[in-house]
Structure 1
Amino acid sequence: MSSTTQIPASRTFLSTLWYEANGIQKAAAVIGIALVLMALMAQVIAPFDPQQQSLLSRLRPPLGFERYKDGFWLGTDELGRDVLSRSIYGLQLTLGLALAGACIGLLIGGTLGLFAGLRRGWLEDVIMAAVDLQIAVPFTLLALLILALLGSTLPVMVCVLGIAGWEQYARIVRAEVRKITELPFIEAARASGGGLRYIAFKHVLPNIVSPLVVQFTLSLSNIVILESTLSFLGLGVQPPTATLGSMVGYGRDYMPTSPWMVAVPATLIILITFSVQILGDWLRDRADVRLRAR
């Protein structure tokens, strides 16, 4: 009887991922996990209410500078609100909006791409024409138009972010479905009497999960940038609710005298996009058999 202890498969997989990652990828993973935990625990770790004002404490610098006020480690804004607390809550809302938008884009684009790849004919032509139209029109301008007409409410903002990038999912899914449906096991499933729905859910979807996961991670950072851009222009989530982009937008007028108002949320935006992009590339390399075979 062997005395060797069997390591759980899940632990082996995670350990293998960590072992194969380079230093930058490991740093991105640590930063990403830290940001997610910070967002999830915002109500616990934020030292102050993000809306709490103290005009006597306005524009106080961070720790280590003259006029620093105890407790406000990263300084205060023009209304005396704690920049650290607002950044933590802004991180929570920014990540929440990005996740919701990416999920909506995945649902819309994945569904349309699946129909385009399986149905073919006029339906495929219509869907791909919509994809080409979406690519041809700069989405930032379209988003500005929608928000200007419908208002910058949270539901409208989620919908706008949701339709950003759906065409990427549609193109990827359509291309993958068309390749998969030409394989012999799909022909065997059709010959055995399998219907379109059975083939789609039983054989096609399980084989396109990897590229969808990679595209999902990559689109997250794009949506974070889009949300930050819209909030910077004043068309995102309206005050007093804070997002990272809106904090940068409202702090730009105070940059010459109070640069920490912009530096803190801008740093978080950079860290989000850095970690997500690096992890997305990492997942792509892991999922692409041709890249791993080199």
Structure 2
Amino acid sequence: MTTLADPIRHRRRAASTNIIQKVALLLAVVLAVAAILAPLIAPFDPLDQSLISRLRPPIGFDRYSPGHLAGTDELGRDVFSRGLYGLRLTLALAFGGAVIGLGIGGLLGLIAGLRPGWAEDGIMALVDMQIAIPFTLVALLVLALLGSSLTVLIFVLGIAGWEQYARIVRAEVRRLASQPFIEAARAAGGGTAYIARRHLLPNIVSPLVVQFTLALSNIVILESTLSFLGLGVQPPTPSLGSMVGLGRDYMPTAPWIVLVPAGLIVLLTFTVQILGDWLRDRADVRLRDR
């Protein structure tokens, strides 16, 4: 039974959700601008060492070293500057990995949807294998065998989550294949490549954008995990995960070394997840009309 208070609760819930989405969008813009303009914003070179100023606390504490707003690490490097550059590298790796995953998964999903039979069975078998095996273990094995260069790392990040794109594209292609406008395009003499480019791809962009956004945060966490374990970005190049990994031994005496990059990881994944949920709601007509 619907009461008078139900619409009021719904409006309040919608207003609260809208505020969270606006905050997430603002944070996303701030983080993106900070990452892009890191060379201009950072007060120090992230690789400059000063053992005289090592393990200095952030502003507001005793022994604060002027200019080092977030303190310094075990080698006297500015934590704020390293955090900006680490955010920049982590975002670049995550975005590059997500693009590679989108390309691989989208292409294989399109082939599976358009070519039922042995091609579809083989691709879906690979999808099932990817889902069944914990990918972190696969990433650790690949990096241990091939090394931890940025090229190998971005390749590993790129093959993380491609199966989600493949499943989405295959399902959407199979659904659209029976639609009247696809049958009309076939009757007009349109080939498979033409139909895929002209009619199928424009109609599956929306779910792919949503999946891309959600996958981005997962890749950020994966890159941070690998760098934390020492198999990702190698010192002295800063990334958020490597900063947390290098600073964990100093947590009792200098927690700011870990808290700054860890806070950036939390903010980044929070904003991306919220924006991904918002995009999903906007793309789903059933959710949008509620």
Task: Calculate the TM-score normalised by the size of structure 1.
Answer: 0.93
SS class of match (1:51): coil
- The aligned runs of 1:176-215 (5 Å cut-off) are 176-215=172-211
Distance 1:198 1:134 in 2: 30
Runs of 4+ in 1 over 4 A off after TM superposition: none
The reply on whether 1:113 has 2:100 as its aligned counterpart is no
1:221-254 deviation digits (Å, cap 9, x = unpaired)? 0000000000010100100001000000010000
SS class of match (2:45): coil
The reply on whether 1:256 has 2:252 as its aligned counterpart is yes
Distance 2:16 2:179 in 1: 32
Q: Find the partner of 1:81 among 55, 77, 82.
A: 77
The reply on whether 1:91 has 2:87 as its aligned counterpart is yes
Distance 1:114 1:288 in 2: 21
Q: Find the partner of 1:47 among 18, 43, 50.
A: 43
Partner of 1:3: none
The reply on whether 1:67 has 2:59 as its aligned counterpart is no
Q: Structure 1 regions of 5+ residues with no counterpart?
A: 1-18
What is the deviation of 1:26?
Answer: 0.3
Partner of 1:22: 18
Distance 2:16 2:54 in 1: 48
Distance 1:102 1:269 in 2: 17
Q: Find the partner of 2:29 among 27, 30, 33.
A: 33
What is the deviation of 1:20?
Answer: 11
What is the deviation of 1:21?
Answer: 6.6
What is the deviation of 1:292?
Answer: 1.4
Distance 1:42 1:73 in 2: 15
What is the deviation of 1:290?
Answer: 1.2
Question: Which AA in structure 1 matches 2:232?
Answer: G
Q: Find the partner of 2:165 among 165, 169, 192.
A: 169
Partner of 2:139: 143
Q: Find the partner of 1:267 among 263, 269, 275.
A: 263
Distance 2:207 2:106 in 1: 11
Q: Structure 2 regions of 5+ residues with no counterpart?
A: 1-14
| Equivalences, count | 276
Distance 1:292 1:36 in 2: 27
The percentage of counterpart residues that share the same residue type is: 73
1:140-187 deviation digits (Å, cap 9, x = unpaired)? 000000000000000000000000000000000000110001101101
Distance 1:180 1:123 in 2: 19
SS class of match (1:22): helix
Partner of 2:52: 56
Q: Cα RMSD between the aligned structures?
A: 1.0
